[in-house]
Structure 1
Amino acid sequence: MMTDVLDERLGARLLNEWQQDFPLCPAPFAELASKLGVAETAVLRMLERLRREGRIARVGAVFAPKRIGASSLAAMAVPADKLARVTEAVNRFPEVNQNYVRQHFYNFWFVVTAGSPGRLQAALGAIEQAAGLPVLRLPMVSEYRRDDDRRRSVSADTDGVLAAGLDEIGRRLVMALQEGLPFFIRPFSVLASRVGCEEREVIERIRRWSDEGAIKRFGVVVRRRASDREVKALLVMDVPDAEVGSVSRRLLDETGVILVDERERALPAWPYNLFCTVGAPSEAALIERLDALRGLPALSGFVREVLLHAPEAPAA
């Protein structure tokens, strides 16, 4: 019983404390074990267990959109009696970072990241085959975020310089990182042998890409699901392209709006290009916030829908 309690504590610390700032050194798991006060083997066993249970996707890099690699939001219309099987099939892919079930015809949503646009499309194609269902592809165009109450926007189309300028070693390393770190004593050495360079160069490149912002974070990549402490919904709208920026910034002034994304439409099935995530501490508060957004004059005339999270979502 005591061992189970200690294991749960270790698992919780790995999930909560090491999603970023992961040690970039020849023996990172030993360094991590030292900080956690346990044996290196305990860390490796727990990480493997978390991956096997589907609670983490990998330990490794999360790339910024279109800086290095590629990513896309995706959705499928899954019959209720097939939802558990499809969830299990999709979660087998290391490219899948998170998924959600929403109350909509397109009810199963997930995020896919890969080392290159070609690999992204290959992963999406493989997911379609594994699930036996077509995938709606919704890559990002621009993102709008709150930053200490200051609005900021980033165009996903203007920051692909690093991706275009990678040499062969860099391209191979991006591909290798997509699978995550191998759970060995010297994982960067294993990556170096796969890529064809020295261990030191692998670590230096990862550190440089992190400093340059091409890697958003390096650490434990958790398969996320809707928070138990906050109720969320997705408001989607069809907004003229020229008005997306002004509408997005207006939305970010409203209580409960967490983030706003502009994404490519998937016509004719999906006409919406503006995605607004809204959160609240309760379902009643969420409905009030959604009603307030619907009443904004700035949103009048736009075709829109609200996608609520399903009450029971498969573990992501």
Structure 2
Amino acid sequence: MERIVVTGLDGSAESRAAAEWAAREAQLRDLPLKLVHVWEPVPEPMAQAPLLGAGTMQHWSERIPRDAVDGLRLRHPGLQVSAEQVPGGPAEVLTRVAGDAELLVLGSRGLSGVGGFMVGSVGLSVVAHAERPVVLVRAGEQAADEHEPDPAGIPSAATAYRPVVLGLDVDSADEALLQFAFEAAAVRGTTLRVVHGWSPSPYEVYSLSVSPETQQLLAGQRAVALAAALEPWRAKYPNVEVVEEAVVGVPAHHLVDASRTASLVVVGRRIKRRRFGARIGAVAHAVLHHAAAPVAVVAHH
């Protein structure tokens, strides 16, 4: 695996926002950035049309990554940026290049008027199949959006980063997921807010409704399990402040709420190789569509 940040670029507003986010992330991690422009060959009859000649198509397909590289180098001095054009289907190409990267960054359209993403078929397919972390960034995402407001209440890139939020299932606290979240908080110099949402069993629902003592017992057990899962990572990252939250309810709902004041939301996706397609899991799917911050999906076994 090459230590590099990769982003998919097609010239759209969402892909440009993803490229800017990827550039900032590459600088935080002191890694080079590669822009991958997937070029789908035009059928021969269309390529011969007067307005879509081969020369015109080649001109535009080369101009998109060239202009993007020039702009990123100008706005991010010192960043090592390269571009590559790859023929093929976008989902297949991006899934393949993700396997050779530290992380892959993709753009996604924002939902009109509200926070969240409009995740297209390409993005969902890549997230479902890639075995490296994939970050989804909305169109219009700005650097200031990931920072705390200034004294006047206005988001500013000059202030501290907002917390990184991690959704964690203590019953499957995978190392890859924890390491990605702690590293993301460390490079930002910010707090890691770990949210463990749990839905009680029918027996627990009954017990919670009739016994305050049972409520305290179950909540205490979850909090202890969460603390135990995080203890070795606190030792590995002593400079990262960790806030633990073990809360009753649907995990995705708590994570979407937490995303409103987050710089990044991190969720996991269990790798399950299926004969027909792949799934990303209910929590990751809900967070991808409704979070108000960039979302990183980390595949794990």
Q: Which has the higher helix share?
A: 2
Q: Which has the higher strand share?
A: 1
**TM norm structure 2:** 0.25
Larger RCO, structure (CA 8 Å, separation 6 or more) = 1
